[in-house]
Amino acid sequence: MKVTEHYDKATEPLISFEIIPPKRGTSVAPVFEAIDKLMTVHPPFIDVTYHAAEATYEELPDGTLKKKINRKRPGTIGLCAAIKHRYGVDPVPHLICEGFSREESEDALIELHYLGIDNILAIRGDSDRSAGMTYPNGTTNEYAIDLVKQVDAMNHGHYLETIANAEPTNFCIGISGYPEKHFEAPNLDYDIHWVKKKVEAGADYIATQMFFDNAPFHAFVEKVRAAGIDVPIVPGLKVLTSQRHLVSLPKSFHLNIPTELSEQLLADPDHTAEIGREWCVKQCEDLLKHDIPGIHFYVMGDPSPALDVIKKIGR
């Protein structure tokens, strides 16, 4: 079932999750153990991230540098297939532009179509972390809107090569939204301009970047609606559980940690996890007073903090 169909049929805001595949060469068992725990709250869908190849450099004995390209977390499609057929839950694989040609994206979409997977989240990916791979015999999607257009074209039976009687795909297309604006956008209005362009290109819903201050999210929704965008907007939350998050989350995701929260954490570092959970509970309680389709939790590898929050809000 499509994500938008889940939201259309829901009688109350839905709870969904995002997880990451295991690192290359490690067991998938801990991921399944995490999903087993998530099943206790009956999520309608689970997102699975995709990761671009990263470049590292090895210094050789002669002093030259050798570039090595490595995809550290393969397995998104396989994990999505397992979620669908092992748990009966709709997976939402992330597809990224960075590090993939349009031909490779088409191949991935065909595989997902054959597996009966109905949803994808189309994102550009982290250009500053990618390996800078080039494709002399192919093309790449430079921005998320280009990937949205490619998926929408396949939904209408148009592939990269002209194929007679081609079977159309039927993907529900999600995109990212940034309540505090994308870090490369000069301002929020400019950012929302491109959100609208992606919706006009075929995107069906918006899942936001994680945030710790609800005020920018509410302002974002107001601006998006004023721009004439009427697709579902799903807030994304993460439970802050470590003092390291005060530095790592803003650095990795270009977000703001409210002063009140950081001061609480610095004043009582021994209770970081409890403070983070209570903060997220308050965020959820406020969000649920508004017209939201659901709450999307970024659980990554450990679902326990998010499940604690969900229990405390009575879901």
- Going by C-alpha positions, the residue among 182, 225, 172 that lies closest to residue 203 is 172
Residue 275, amino acid: I
- Helix 214-226 and helix 272-287, axial crossing angle in degrees, nearest 10: 30
Identify which of 182, 175, 177, 174 has the alpha carbon closest to the alpha carbon of residue 255.
182
- Tell me how long the chain is: 315
Query: Residue 269 carries which DSSP code?
Result: G
Structure tokens at 145: 């809107």
At 181, list the tokens. 């604006």
Of the candidates 43, 99, 16, the residue with the CA atom closest to the CA atom of residue 292: 16
HSE of 188, CA atoms in CB hemisphere, 13 A: 14
Task: Give the residue among 167, 127, 176 at the shortest CA–CA distance from 148.
Answer: 176
**What's residue 140's pLDDT?**
87
| First-last CA distance in the chain | 22
pLDDT tens digit sequence for 247-298: 999 998 999 999 999 999 999 999 999 999 999 999 999 999 999 999 999 9
Residues contacting 277, CB < 8 A, separation 6+: 239, 241, 305, 308, 309, 312
- pLDDT for 93: 97
Which amino acid, one-letter code, is at 224? V
Instruction: Give the model confidence (pLDDT) of 217-241 as tens digits.
Output: 999 999 999 999 999 999 999 999 9
What is the CATH number that goes with domain 3-312?
A: 3.20.20.220
Parts of the chain with a pLDDT under 70:
51-73, 126-138
Helix (H) / strand (E) element for 17: namely strand 14-19
Strand extents, DSSP E, 114-198: 119-123, 172-177
222's enclosing H/E stretch is helix 214-226
| Per-residue pLDDT, 315 | 81
pLDDT at 68: 52
Angle at 314 between CA 311 and CA 315, to 5 degrees: 80
Q: Spell out the domain ranges in the chain.
A: 3-312
Residues 6+ apart with CB under 8 A from 81: 91, 115, 117
pTM recorded for the entire structure: 0.90
